[in-house]
A and B are shown apart, each in its own frame.
Chain A
């Protein structure tokens, strides 16, 4: 992994912390700008080779959706610092290609479950930015009526089944959703997103074992952003090749560049086909990076500015816009128009969230039970 070179080199040098806590440091010699540019060019070459057979409108939509999510998350950060969003707030900036690419490969009636870093998946699956922002604001107009918050978004209408905040907790759940679709004999598939740190949980291993044992149409998507909160993958995982772990369960797996939305989409399409036709699970490892802290309260003192900047050179949105420009699919004017429209969409979401009422006080006691029982009252 080339990042290891960058890190070990940078950690050897003098460190100084910025106001955000991120360790300020010059980019080490091993990753000079020339190298970064070359890497970007190589990734672009790889991505443009995938552009050929794609529908133009679909490509532009992938770009629009990634940009919408980026601007949405930037606005979330702003709203969090203004106190409009409470609790934890885990931003997705840097990882947009994964949620957008993978979810673009499934139908509306397919299922998605994910972790607590889920604003992007919710929007990509079809929940309106208004309903997501209102949920973040703790308002009645939120997709969970203000009772779930940042980490618990749900929408039954688009089969978005959460939003789960115990690391790895969604993995057995998604396995069960896939079990239910096979039980009913439908051809729906289930996408289950989780970070690389969840791979160390027993829930991951128990689920993959059952999924292959019973041939369940679940696609396990590991978003390897290289850090479980502040602990780097190499400090937490003995075998760091996550895709290889699928061998333990005889599950098909792929290691994919998670900064390339088209590579993500293609790999997911292959897994979807396997799931729909043959009820087979797949493990996909998408290598990605979060540009922000673990959550809004993360001082970020476990990685260097140089490391972050190095990954920002592989920004999935910039990569796609460069590829699409090179192939003359979009030009600067279209990019500007998209930028303007997503900013407006995010502003509308904030306005909606601001104007949405708080949940009524009696909502405190609703939804505890589907069949509430007044004990002792004979029916």
Chain B
């Protein structure tokens, strides 16, 4: 298997799926001539042409809605948001149109569309460009929400998302585009949506992490191993539908849970997972579920403050030590 970056893995997925199905097209700001603001769409215009790879004006509500309409008429659009921060302008079309069309038409109009782009924090881009919005989208029945943490997952999950007949919110992480990993070259390599991945097996505590927090959780698990604590790291990969069974199975084994997330804690995905665990595995818990989340503030610009806002490996280690009562 080739070792490539997450950026290249996403590019492969887009290219392969567009070559496979001519109903798939890609649109967004700077995706074509500029080759993508983060170069995820590099080379696609040259290979697939301007009919399939389309630069849009800066008009997020408009092109998101255009994509949903094209999906109603049988195409399979991939709509890139330069970052998910700009999807906020498009939420009317994502939520009121894409998520509900199948239901309110009594099953007549499916919306096979992927909204993708980077989400979460980046590097000192401040409040309006550093937001983790997965809990917003995961709230709505009708949407699927996917967040990969490795290049292989990124490729396999994006290919499945493009082939899926429902609207998928596919949130990449800007800080992870350069992360490398082994990625299968097989054109039929896909990873089914709705299946969590056990990134590391362990016996003493479960760390549930997604996206940027997965590598952090794995580092924390390494450090804790040296301190005599064996951690299991679970990456749900798909936020909706959530593979709660895999998480609960792990909790029944370890009896202790830390949820690490880059988003705000209030009404977040971690809160939902915590509640599910309480409902399904309360009797197995030996300690309260502990969340490690972003600081509950808008993202600051200053480097030192930004570092304080994003959850760290040390915070995850401390949280695991807390639920295992090591420091008491």
Contact = CB atoms under 8 A, between A and B. Distances in A.
Contact of A376 (B61, B164, B194): B194
A379 B103 contact: no
Nearest to A216: B66
Contacts of B96: 164-166, 169
B188 interface: no
Interface in B106-151: 106-112, 141-142, 144
Interface string A347-379: 000000000000000000011111101111111
Interface stretch (B238-246, B252-260, B305-313): B238-246
A213 to B, nearest CB: 7
B227 to A, nearest CB: 31
Contacts of A161: 69, 72-73, 109
Given A154-B109, A161-B109, A147 B57 contact: no
A150 to B, nearest CB: 11
Contacts of A142: 106
A92 to B, nearest CB: 20
A175 interface: yes
A179 B69 contact: yes
Given A147-B106, A155-B108, A180 B74 contact: yes
Given A203-B62, A376-B194, A147 B104 contact: yes
B103 A180 contact: no
**A interface bracket (residues with beta carbon within 8 Å of B):** 35 or more
A179 B102 contact: no
A180 B25 CA distance: 10
Contacts of B67: 176
Contact of B192 (A148, A163, A379): A379
Contacts of A368: 102-103, 141-142
A176 B111 CA distance: 12
A75 interface: no
Contacts, number: 177
B172 interface: no
Given A144-B104, A180-B73, A175 B62 contact: yes
A26 B165 CA distance: 59
Contacts of B192: 373, 378-379
A373 B246 contact: no
A203 B61 contact: yes
A120 to B, nearest CB: 19
A374 B240 CA distance: 10
A122 to B, nearest CB: 12
Contacts of A169: 65, 92-93, 96-97
A87 interface: no
Residue from B62, B166, B242, B246 having most chain A Cβ neighbours under 10 A: B62
A99 interface: no
Interface residues of B, number: 55
A373 B72 CA distance: 21
Nearest to A180: B73
Nearest to A210: B62
Interface string B27-68: 000000000000000000000000100001101011111111
B194 A173 contact: no
Contact of A172 (B93, B105, B242): B93
Given A176-B70, A203-B65, A156 B109 contact: yes
Nearest to A173: B69
A156 B244 CA distance: 36
B65 A373 contact: no
Residue from B25, B105, B109, B238 having most chain A Cβ neighbours under 10 A: B105
Residue from A164, A176, A207, A366 having most chain B Cβ neighbours under 10 A: A176
A144 B73 contact: no
B10 to A, nearest CB: 22
A367 B195 contact: no
A146 B106 contact: yes
A183 B21 CA distance: 14
Contact of B59 (A113, A148, A164, A206): A206
Contacts of B144: 369, 373
Contacts of B246: 376
A177 B61 CA distance: 15
Contacts of A184: 74
B193 interface: yes
Interface in A167-220: 169, 171-181, 183-184, 202-203, 206-207, 209-210, 213
Nearest to A162: B105
A290 interface: no
A155 B106 CA distance: 9
A179 B195 contact: no
A137 interface: no
A133 B112 CA distance: 30
Contacts of B106: 142-148, 154, 367
Contacts of B77: 176
B157 to A, nearest CB: 13
B62 A209 contact: yes
Contacts of A171: 65
Contacts of A374: 194, 241
B65 A172 contact: yes
Interface in A205-251: 206-207, 209-210, 213
B281 interface: no
A207 B69 CA distance: 12
27 contacts: A113-B69, A147-B105, A148-B105, A154-B104, A154-B105, A156-B109, A161-B72, A165-B96, A169-B65, A172-B65, A172-B68, A176-B65, A176-B70, A177-B69, A180-B69, A180-B74, A206-B59, A207-B66, A209-B57, A367-B107, A368-B142, A373-B144, A373-B238, A375-B194, A375-B195, A375-B245, A379-B192
Given A173-B66, A367-B105, A371-B165, 11 more contacts: A165-B96, A166-B96, A172-B64, A175-B65, A206-B61, A367-B106, A367-B107, A368-B142, A377-B194, A378-B195, A379-B195
Interface of A: 111, 113, 142-148, 152, 154-156, 161-166, 169, 171-181, 183-184, 202-203, 206-207, 209-210, 213, 366-371, 373-379
